[in-house]
Each structure stands twice: as structure tokens, then as C-alpha cells.
């Protein structure tokens, strides 16, 4: 690269890769360009917006030669809306990119060799039909020109792109959102304004049971009451499948969506759903999944974490269970257990499952879920895994038990596992560790620590939970290297 590039300069470039936010990446004489909405394989013209020494952010001007992997997005707002990032890239290519991302993280961040990585990494488990898969929508509401509107934030902003029928969620969400907007207009319930802290309605949260069809709407408001609540209730409870309407109060000036206070306006304060255990078989080109007779019922309240893609969650948990390799006798830990979803999948094949989770309501749900399914061999504890587990290990040591666990399952948030937790796990040396991850970078970091602590990675399988977005979920099996 032998020259400087300037703002507004026009360039022609072919896209070869994709960045972490789904932007296309191409090079001109060694100078790297990041271009939103350009997809791998496109040749495009672009205009530099922000030039740095070695790279620039540029605006897509025209697709000169479209990529063979370019498709027309199913949603007309795909480009403006920040909810999806890669709807214009063919689904098979999305999966291939996610595979390469996981591979890259294991090699670059985890320090595993290419051979080690390729020997354990499976193709991404994708969806047959990657639309209308989400069971949860969390939709911000705002005012524009005096009118309330609902939609999703544009990328890196709080500007609402109006979308009521998101193609990732069920059709009924459109009807629900239109009804809420109609109520807001009729009853002068204005949307909340983040700038001033004034106004009422902040978000609409919708959850739909995949098997049960039960629908829950939770209105998140900057108040404990809404004007003419019964008008809203009358509109919503007419919608087929409506099971509960709740009001959550959040008066804080924060980006956190949900407040702590919840009041039921109509019906139930939670929905129920089931997840069906899958029989997992390995074929030459990847895993196959088939429904079994076994299912687990869950009660899901608006405040608890619950996986958003039930079809793929069934596959993910079934794979985690397969990797756990249980024979009916094992002591298993399920750390970061949420409402006990993985715990209850494991319990049927384990001796005992010990679940740990930081949110008290989730643990309440977990206990109730266990009881509802008649599962007795589980114990749940509220607290931080990195505090509860080291203390538990010490407690057991004092009782003379050196190895209180045979199999550990972890499913941490994006920041990965706390080092204190990994150290405690390594201290007790379980036979197998199953790591369910929603961020390949922190996964690779933690796998290195576990590998250095005496474990060998046996399987790494990404399971696509978030089609059309850049999020990547993976399930990993580690085995203790016998001494
Ligand atoms: N395994 C569950 C939940 C996974 S999401 C499922 O599949 O549904 C991660 C969970 O970790 C969330 O429920 C979050 O509340 C919890 N969490 C976050 N930090 C934690 C910590 N330090 N200790 C224990 N749980 C934590």
C-alpha cells in the first residue's frame, strides 16, 4: 500500500470476507474496506466514510457484479433494521461463514493447530426453513411525528425502524403490535422517550410457545398503571392463543429493558411449552436429529431467560446430552442453568443434577419445572457459579469427597466462564465437560484453559440458533486425558 486514502473517495472492490457485525470486507492494494450490506462474492463500488491508515469504513454505492450467494431478503426492511445482519447472504453460505468463524477463533484465540481443529469441528447444524423461528420478540416503541410506532433499532443506534411483521417471528406478532399501537393512539398512551425520560410505553415483549401455541404479551412501561388498561386487554385477549397479558414497570433511565415489578392484567403470568428430546445420529455429512417420545415441559415467565429458537434448542440440548455420555449413575453439574432447561434434559439419564444460576426467579421456575415433570433427582442453587462452585468443592473436600462430579455442563453468557469457576472445575477433574457457548471467541479462550488443565477437545458442533444474524452458538465436548 503506497498511498493514503481519503474520505469520500470512490473505490471498486470485491468482497472476500465478513466482519463481526456482518459487514463485507474487501481489499484494494492491501488497504482493507469494511462495507455494510455488501456480501461475500460481490463486486461493489463504495465511498469512504472514515479513513484510517490501514483500513476504512465505506458506504455501499452500487453492487456492480452481484455475488452468486446474494439473495433477495424476505424482509423489506432488512438493510435498515439492525435485527438481522446477513439476510442478503444465502443461508448455506451463512452457515459456512459461521463454521469458518468458529474455526478461526479456535486457531487464533485458542491456539489450537489447524489439524487439531479440523479433527474435531463438525459442520454447523442448520435449519430447514430459517424463518419465523423466534419464540420471543422484544420490540422497542417510540414516537415519530406525534405517532407511536414499533420496530427494531437500526444498527448501532436507537433509531426505530418500523417493522411489525418481523420474518424471524410468528405472523401473530404483527397483529399484537398493531393492536398495541392502536390502543396507544386511542387512549393517548404515548411511547417513552429515552432522551427526556417522559412518556409511557417502552417495549412490547411477546413470547409464543412452540408446541403449546400459548402467547404472552408483556408491556414494559415507565409507570405502574396504563390509561384505560381494559381497552388494551380487550384488544389483545381477542387474539387466538392469547394466554396472559402482564405489565412490567421500568422507571429507570437505562438501556436495560425489563424492570423488576410485574403485574398481571389478564390471564396467566407465564406460558408453558415443551421441548422434545431428539435422537442424534451421526452420518457422513453431519448429525441427524429425529423426535423421540420423551419431552420436557417448561413454565416460562417474562423475566426468565429462555432460548429463542425452540427447534434448534431441541437439537442443541439433545447434542449436549449425547456429549454428556450419561449412563444413569453420574453426578452432573449444570452451571448457568437458567430455568433448568438443560438440567431437566440431563436428569432423565443422570444420577443427580446440580444446577446453579444467578437469577432467583429463574431458579424458582427451574424448581417448578422439575416438579411439573415429576423429576426428583435435581437440586438448584441461586448464586454466581464462580462463587457457589469453589465453595461447594471445598465443602465436599472437608467431607472427604475429592470428586463430587462426573460430568460438568456449562452454558455461560457471552463473556464466557469466570476463571475462578474454570479453576474449581479443573481441581475436581470431571470425566467430561460439555461447554455450550454463545460466543466463539470467549469459548476458544476458555477451551485453551481447559486444554492446559488436562482436557482434550473431542467434538465442536455449532448449532445455528440465530439465522440471518451474526450470532453463533456451539456445543463442545471435552474429555479428561487419563493419567
Ligand atoms: N442453560 C440455560 C441458560 C443459559 S443463558 C438455557 O439453556 O436456557 C446463561 C444464564 O447464565 C442466564 O440465565 C444468566 O442469568 C446466567 N448467569 C449469568 N451470569 C452468571 C453467573 N456468574 N453465575 C451463574 N449464572 C449466571
pLDDT tens track for 336-365 = 999 999 999 999 999 999 999 999 988 998
Residue 302 in grid coordinates: 417474562
Question: pLDDT by residue (tens digit) across 408-458?
Answer: 999 999 999 999 999 999 999 999 999 999 999 999 999 999 999 999 999
Catalytic residue among 46, 417, 438, 475: 438
- Please report the pLDDT score of residue 3 as a whole number: 84
Q: What is the mean pLDDT of residues 313-325?
A: 98
- Calculate the CA 298 to chain-centre distance: 18
Q: How many CB atoms lie within 10 A of CB 280?
A: 18
CA 32 – ligand 1 centroid, Å: 37
Q: What angle do CA 191, 192, 197 make, to 5 degrees?
A: 155
Tell me: pLDDT of 271 over 80: yes
Of residues 134, 127, 145, the one with CA closest to residue 91: 127
Locate the ligand 1 atom nearest the alpha carbon of residue 362 and give its number: 13
| pLDDT, tens digit, 9 for 90 and up, residues 253-263 | 999 999 989 99
> pLDDT, tens digit, for every residue of 117-162?
999 999 999 999 999 999 999 999 999 999 999 999 998 899 999 9
Residue 483, pLDDT score: 67
Q: Which atom of ligand 1 is nearest to the CA of 359?
A: 15
Q: Whose CA is nearest to atom 11 of ligand 1?
A: 336
| Confidence check: pLDDT of 296 > 80 | yes
The binding-site residues of ligand 1, defined as CB within 6 angstroms of any ligand atom, are 305-307, 336-338, 341-342, 356-359, 362, 384-386, 411, 413
- Distance of alpha carbon 95 from its chain centroid, rounded? 16
Average pLDDT estimate for 209-221: 97
Please state, in angstroms and as integers, the Cα–Cα distance from residue 76 to each residue in 39, 55, 80, 272, following that order. Answer: 17, 31, 9, 33
Mutate to test the pocket of ligand 1, among 315, 357, 389, 466 (most ligand atoms within 8 A of CB): 357
Report the separation in Å between the CA atom of 74 and the middle of ligand 1, taken as the mean of its atom positions.
Answer: 33
Q: How many residues are there in the chain?
A: 483
Neighbours of 115 (CB within 10 A): 7
Specify the pLDDT at position 356. Answer: 98
Q: Rounded mean pLDDT of 294-308? A: 89
Could you say which DSSP state residue 349 is in?
A: T
Task: Kindly give the distance from the C-alpha atom of residue 385 to the centroid of ligand 1, in angstroms, as a whole number.
Answer: 9
| Candidate of 275, 300, 336 to mutate for ligand 1, largest count of ligand atoms within 8 Å of Cβ | 336
438 assigned to active site: yes
Distance 358 CA to ligand 1 centre (A): 7
Report the distance separating Cα 198 and Cα 190, nearest Å.
9
Dihedral pair phi/psi, residue 131, rounded to 5°: -125, 165
Instruction: Give the pLDDT band (50/70/90) at residue 285.
Output: confident
CA distances from 460 to 8, 120, 123, 270 (A): 44, 6, 9, 34
Percent of the chain at pLDDT > 70 equals 99
Tell me the domains of the chain and their CATH numbers. Answer: 10-65 (2.40.50.140), 136-272 (2.40.50.1070), 309-480 (3.40.50.150)
pLDDT band at 47 (very low <50, low <70, confident <90, very high): very high
Query: Closest residue (by CA) to atom 3 of ligand 1?
Result: 338
Contact call for residues 222 and 258 (beta carbons, < 8 A) = no
Question: What is the Å distance from ligand 1's center to 336 Cα?
Answer: 4
If you take atom 1 of ligand 1, which residue's CA is the nearest one?
Answer: 337
What does the DSSP assignment read for 433-476? EEEEES-HHHHHHHHHHHHHTTEEEEEEEEB-SSTTSS---EEE
What is the rounded average pLDDT of the residues 5-22?
Answer: 95
pLDDT of 32 reads 97
Tell which one of 273, 301, 305, 424 to mutate to probe ligand 1, the residue whose CB is within 8 A of the most ligand atoms. Answer: 305
Q: Which residues of 408-432 are buried (b: 16+ CB within 10 A; e: fewer)?
A: bbbbbeeebbbeebbbbbbebbbbb
Mean pLDDT score of the chain: 96
Residue-wise pLDDT for 79-89, tens only, equals 999 999 999 99
183 Cα to the center of ligand 1, angstroms: 36
User: Nearest residue CA, atom 16 of ligand 1?
Assistant: 336
Q: Over 70: is that where the pLDDT of 329 sits?
A: yes
pLDDT at 104: 98
Return d(Cα 402, Cα 396) in angstroms, integer. Answer: 7
pLDDT in the model for residue 204: 98
Ligand 1 atom nearest 305 alpha carbon:
13
> Which is it for strands 271-283 and 286-300: parallel, antiparallel or unpaired?
antiparallel
Q: How far apart are the first and last CA of the chain?
A: 52
Mutate to test the pocket of ligand 1, among 299, 314, 358 (most ligand atoms within 8 A of CB): 358
CA quadruple 452, 453, 454, 458: dihedral sign: negative
Cβ burial of 282 (10 Å; 0-12, 13-18, 19+) is exposed
Please identify, by atom number, the ligand 1 atom nearest to the C-alpha of residue 317.
7
297 has pLDDT over 90:
yes
For residue range 99-109, what is the model confidence (pLDDT) as tens digits?
999 999 999 99
pLDDT digits (tens, 9 = 90+) for 153-211: 998 899 999 999 999 999 999 999 999 999 999 999 999 999 999 999 999 999 999 99
- Residue 1: what pLDDT? 62
Averaged pLDDT, 50-70: 96
pLDDT for residue 236 is more than 80: yes
Which residues is 271 bridged to in the sheet?
300
Whole-number Å distance, alpha carbon 353 to ligand 1 midpoint, is 16
The number of beta carbons lying within 10 Å of the beta carbon of residue 229 is 18
| Ligand 1 atom closest to Cα of residue 385 | 23
Q: Which atom of ligand 1 is nearest to the CA of 337?
A: 1
Amino acid at each position: 500500500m503506497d498511498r493514503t486514502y481519503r474520505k469520500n473517495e470512490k473505490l471498486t472492490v470485491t468482497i472476500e470476507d465478513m466482519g463481526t457485525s456482518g459487514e463485507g470486507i474487501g481489499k484494494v492494494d492491501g488497504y482493507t474496506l469494511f462495507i455494510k450490506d455488501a456480501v461475500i462474492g460481490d463486486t461493489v463500488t463504495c465511498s469512504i466514510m472514515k479513513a484510517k491508515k490501514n483500513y476504512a469504513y465505506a458506504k455501499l454505492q452500487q453492487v456492480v457484479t452481484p455475488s452468486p450467494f446474494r439473495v433477495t431478503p424476505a424482509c423489506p426492511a432488512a438493510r435498515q433494521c439492525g435485527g438481522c445482519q446477513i439476510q442478503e447472504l444465502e443461508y448455506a453460505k451463512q452457515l459456512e461463514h459461521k463454521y469458518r468463524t468458529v474455526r478461526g477463533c479456535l486457531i487464533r484465540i485458542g491456539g489450537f493447530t489447524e489439524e487439531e481443529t479440523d479433527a474435531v469441528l463438525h459442520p454447523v447444524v442448520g435449519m430447514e426453513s430459517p424463518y419465523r423461528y423466534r419464540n420471543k420478540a422484544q420490540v422497542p416503541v417510540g414516537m415519530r411525528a406525534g405517532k407511536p410506532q414499533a420496530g427494531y433499532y437500526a444498527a448501532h443506534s436507537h433509531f426505530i425502524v418500523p417493522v411489525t411483521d418481523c420474518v424471524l417471528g410468528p405472523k401473530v406478532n404483527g397483529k399484537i403490535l398493531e393492536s398495541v399501537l392502536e390502543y396507544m393512539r386511542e387512549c393517548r398512551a404515548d411511547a417513552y422517550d429515552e432522551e427526556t425520560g417522559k412518556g409511557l410505553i417502552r417495549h412490547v415483549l411477546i413470547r409464543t410457545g412452540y408446541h403449546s401455541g400459548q402467547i404472552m404479551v408483556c408491556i414494559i412501561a415507565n409507570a405502574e398503571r396504563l390509561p384505560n388498561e381494559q381497552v388494551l386487554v380487550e384488544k389483545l385477549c381477542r387474539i387466538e392463543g392469547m394466554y396472559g397479558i402482564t405489565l412490567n414497570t421500568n422507571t429507570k433511565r437505562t438501556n436495560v429493558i425489563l424492570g423488576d415489578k410485574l403485574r398481571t392484567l389478564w390471564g396467566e403470568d407465564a406460558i408453558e411449552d415443551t421441548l422434545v428430546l431428539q435422537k442424534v445420529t451421526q452420518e457422513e455429512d453431519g448429525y441427524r436429529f429425529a423426535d423421540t417420545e420423551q419431552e420436557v415441559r417448561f413454565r416460562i415467565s417474562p423475566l426468565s431467560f429462555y432460548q429463542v429458537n425452540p427447534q434448534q434448542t431441541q437439537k442443541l440440548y439433545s447434542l449436549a446430552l449425547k456429549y454428556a455420555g450419561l449412563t444413569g449413575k453420574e453426578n452432573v453439574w449444570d452451571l448457568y442453568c437458567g430455568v433448568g432447561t438443560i438440567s431437566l434434559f440431563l436428569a432423565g439419564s443422570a444420577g443427580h443434577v446440580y444446577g446453579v444460576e444467578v437469577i432467583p426467579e429463574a431458579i424458582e421456575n427451574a424448581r417448578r419445572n422439575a416438579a411439573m415433570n415429576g423429576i426428583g433427582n435435581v437440586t438448584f442453587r441461586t448464586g454466581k457459579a464462580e462463587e457457589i462452585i469453589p465453595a461447594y468443592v471445598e465443602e465436599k473436600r472437608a467431607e472427604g469427597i475429592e470428586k463430587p462430579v462426573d460430568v460438568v455442563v456449562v452454558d455461560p453468557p457471552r463473556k464466557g466462564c469466570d476463571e475462578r469457576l474454570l479453576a474449581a472445575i479443573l481441581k475436581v477433574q470431571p470425566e467430561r465437560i460439555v461447554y455450550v457457548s454463545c460466543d466463539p471467541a470467549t469459548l476458544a479462550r476458555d477451551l485453551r484453559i481447559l486444554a492446559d488443565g488436562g482436557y482434550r477437545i473431542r467434538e465442536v458442533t455449532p448449532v445455528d440458533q440465530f439465522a440471518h444474524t451474526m450470532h453463533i452458538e456451539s456445543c463442545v465436548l471435552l474429555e479428561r486425558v487419563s493419567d
